[in-house]
Amino acid sequence: MPGEKREKIIPALVLLVLFLDQFSKFLSNSKLSLHQSVPVIKGIFYLSLVHNRGAAFGMFKNQTFVFIATALFAIVLIYFSLKKNKRISLYSLSLGLILAGAVGNLIDRLRFGYVIDFLDFRVWPVFNIADSAITVGAILLGWTMLFRKDAS
């Protein structure tokens, strides 16, 4: 029974994050022009459309093939890890978040050759929901690996 629950929860999590990511990117791309910045909370939070051709923080620009290959490799590893792990845990939830983010950004790279970023706090590079899912998933994964004996 726990395996059945995980088999529903993790795919639901991945699909929800993927939907929110792709829908928010669609809205940003259709409502904002490139490099346009609209204040949501003036001085704190803006919607700013950026086409990121690099990795995190725009590093390694125009290495699309490398990013696609890396994302596909990560997706396969995560898939097999989730398939092996039959119970719901913080570990499987963290992998689900990372998987959703990797797929979301991979879709952008395959469709456009860049990732659509739009969340702008002005003290951090512009990012998107997929990036947030990857970051939160990585923090949770690190936590489970450092502090939990039953991480996997």
> Any idea where the domains of the chain sit in the sequence?
2-147
Q: Which of 21, 108, 120, 131 is catalytic?
A: 131
Active site residue 117: yes
C-alpha to C-alpha distance for 110 and 94, rounded to whole angstroms: 24
Cα 118 from Cα 50, distance rounded (Å): 6
pLDDT at 85: 79
Q: What is the mean pLDDT of residues 96-120?
A: 96
Distances (CA, A) of 112 to 25, 52, 115: 12, 10, 7
Task: State the Cα–Cα distance between residues 123 and 98, nearest whole angstrom.
Answer: 23
Dump pLDDT digits (tens) for 31-82: 999 999 999 999 999 999 999 987 665 566 667 788 888 899 999 999 999 8
Q: What angle do CA 115, 74, 14 make, to 5 degrees?
A: 70
- Phi, psi for 126 (deg, rounded to 5): -60, 140
Specify whether 21 is catalytic: no
- Selecting among 21, 108, 117, 120, the annotated active-site residue is 117
Q: Report pTM.
A: 0.86
Q: What is the pLDDT of residues 121-150, one digit of tens each?
A: 999 999 999 999 999 999 999 999 898 765
